[in-house]
């Protein structure tokens, strides 16, 4: 169990960017080659479409565009970036990391670059790792990116999983800013992370370099994952809010991992967040794993709902199982 509350130096999100591949696959498109239909997918998940990376378009390509857009939004240059953390479970290659590829592609100088692998919880985990550098003054300009090509892990004969996922990338720039140690400070205010390896068989990929020598396909006991999701996520949310010293009533926007509309609504109801404060992109993006939170954040900023100074609550659960939540003031 890990909870942490940063000290007076805060990790402030100064820019957000997103990228979605241009190819959109609707539920009806999927039904042409999978035994499924739009009604089932919408009713059970809320998903209406997903984006799919083009042939030859890799996770690092998606991550690079999202990173460049986040830097532009922050008014920063690639030459200022000293830390890059990419949350991904679908790297271009087993190694090197996607982060080092992004570093090269954006033209960032020699610095720190590595990937974090916590599946759908990856972005929340990566934010907490980045905070360890930024809030200690060890990084002046960090990129935290969630980037995935989840469609490459699908078994297209498994209708219980292949309809749920999509590709995309979202990025934030984090910079240190002096705070007062109060909840009114802008920046990361607290987080809560969890993992339970005993639940591996609920959600995993059946391949890897050390076991099969293949990439493998995603396997999931969906209804069991569902059962754990609402309880686990709600508990982590309450723990992160307690660390940050905020109440649910103070939260301006709830930006959950976008796995399933029913999970989003179940969690919001359980922790007492009204529907109108929930940012949902699951209909448009499906589940983009580690990319879903920064993509949803970017979506809410671009449509004018999310504004600087507002209190944001982020949460996710994914394979491992891993889960966690993070409270920050934009
Ligand atoms: N189209 C049509 N029918 C389908 C499909 C499909 N794509 N997939 C499954 N079905 C059928 C099943 O075969 C089954 O039929 P049967 O009753 O004749 O046997 C029926 O629908 C019910 O299947 P269930 O798996 O019990 O359906 P459920 O209501 O649990 O919904 C779902 C499945 C959507 C996967 C749900 O369990 C879920 O969302 N779980 C959460 C999993 C998740 O989002 N994981 C992502 C990673 S973890 C995370 O991000 C939180």
Could you report the per-residue pLDDT of 242-266, keeping only the tens digit for each?
999 999 999 999 999 999 999 999 9
Please give the pLDDT value at position 281.
Answer: 98
> Is the pLDDT reported for residue 117 higher than 60?
yes
Please give the pLDDT value at position 92.
Answer: 98
Mean per-residue pLDDT, 50-64: 98
pLDDT tens digits for range 292-309: 999 999 999 999 999 999
Mean per-residue pLDDT, 148-152: 98
- Counting the structural domains of the chain, the total is 2
Per-chain mean pLDDT for the chain: 96
Is the domain of 107 the same as that of 232? Answer: no
- How many angstroms does the Cα of residue 33 sit away from the middle of ligand 1? 18
Indicate the residue among 158, 178, 198 that finishes a domain.
178
Is the domain of 131 the same as that of 21? Answer: yes
Please give the pLDDT value at position 8.
Answer: 85
pLDDT tens digits for range 191-216: 999 999 999 999 999 999 999 999 99
Is the domain of 239 the same as that of 108? Answer: no
Is the domain of 126 the same as that of 32? Answer: yes
Tell the residue nearest (CA) to atom 9 of ligand 1: 160
> Is the pLDDT reported for residue 320 higher than 80?
yes
Structure tokens at 245: 């010293």
Is the domain of 135 the same as that of 224? Answer: no
CATH number of the CATH domain containing 323: 3.40.47.10
Q: Which of 267, 264, 310 is nearest to 285 (CA)?
A: 264
In a domain, 147, yes or no: yes
Please give the pLDDT value at position 77.
Answer: 98
Range of the domain at 324: 187-329
Q: Return the percentage of the chain with pLDDT > 90, whole number.
A: 97
Identify the active-site residue in 51, 120, 299, 326: 120
Please give the pLDDT value at position 2.
Answer: 57
User: For residue 50, what are the contacts with CB-CB under 8 A and spacing of at least 6?
Assistant: 24, 25, 151, 165, 166, 167, 285, 286, 288
At 157, give phi and psi (nearest 5°). -95, -5
> Is the pLDDT reported for residue 85 higher than 80?
yes
Band of residue 276 on the pLDDT scale cut at 50, 70, 90: very high
Is the domain of 123 the same as that of 193? Answer: no
In a domain, 3, yes or no: no
Is the domain of 131 the same as that of 195? Answer: no
In a domain, 1, yes or no: no
Indicate the residue among 138, 156, 178 that finishes a domain.
178
Is the domain of 105 the same as that of 191? Answer: no
Is the domain of 79 the same as that of 215? Answer: no
Band of residue 5 on the pLDDT scale cut at 50, 70, 90: low
Is the domain of 303 the same as that of 169? Answer: no
Mean per-residue pLDDT, 28-52: 97
Is the domain of 164 the same as that of 197? Answer: no
In a domain, 288, yes or no: yes
Identify the active-site residue in 257, 285, 299, 326: 257
- How many angstroms does the Cα of residue 101 sit away from the middle of ligand 1? 35
Quick one: angle between helices 38-45 and 261-271, nearest 10?
20
- The rounded Cα 175 to chain-centroid distance in angstroms is 19
Mean per-residue pLDDT, 65-90: 98
Is the domain of 106 the same as that of 196? Answer: no
Q: Which of 236, 144, 131 is nearest to 179 (CA)?
A: 131
- How many angstroms does the Cα of residue 291 sit away from the middle of ligand 1? 22
In a domain, 2, yes or no: no
CB 286 near ligand 1, within 6 Å: no
């Amino acid at each position: 169990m890990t909870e942490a509350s940063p000290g007076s130096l805060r990790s402030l999100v100064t820019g957000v960017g997103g990228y979605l591949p241009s190819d959109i696959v609707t539920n009806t498109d999927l039904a042409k080659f999978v035994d499924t239909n739009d009604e089932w997918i919408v009713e059970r998940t809320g998903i209406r479409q997903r984006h799919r990376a083009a042939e030859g378009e890799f996770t690092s390509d998606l991550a690079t565009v999202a990173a460049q857009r986040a830097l532009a939004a922050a008014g920063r240059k690639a030459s200022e970036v000293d830390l890059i953390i990419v949350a991904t479970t679908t790297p271009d290659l087993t190694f090197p990391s996607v982060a080092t590829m992004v570093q090269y592609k954006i033209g960032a100088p020699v610095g720190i670059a590595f990937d974090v692998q916590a599946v759908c919880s990856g972005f929340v985990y990566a934010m907490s790792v980045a905070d360890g550098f930024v809030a200690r003054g060890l990084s002046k300009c960090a990129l935290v990116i969630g980037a995935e090509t989840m469609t490459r892990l699908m078994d297209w004969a498994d209708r219980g999983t292949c309809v749920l996922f999509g590709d995309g990338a979202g990025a934030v720039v984090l910079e240190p800013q002096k705070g007062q140690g109060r909840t009114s400070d802008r920046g990361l205010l607290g987080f809560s992370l969890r993992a339970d390896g005993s639940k591996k068989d609920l959600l995993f990929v059946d391949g890897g370099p050390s076991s099969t020598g293949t990439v493998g396909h995603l396997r999931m006991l969906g209804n069991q994952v569902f059962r754990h999701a609402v309880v686990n996520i709600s508990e982590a949310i309450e723990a992160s809010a307690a660390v940050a010293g905020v109440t649910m009533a103070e939260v301006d926007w709830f930006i959950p991992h976008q796995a399933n509309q029913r999970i989003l609504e179940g969690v919001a109801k359980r922790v007492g967040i009204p529907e109108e404060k929930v940012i949902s992109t699951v209909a448009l993006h499906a589940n983009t794993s580690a990319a879903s939170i920064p993509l949803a954040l970017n979506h809410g900023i671009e449509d004018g709902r999310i504004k600087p100074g507002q209190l944001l609550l982020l949460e996710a659960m994914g394979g491992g199982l891993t889960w966690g939540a993070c409270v920050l003031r934009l």
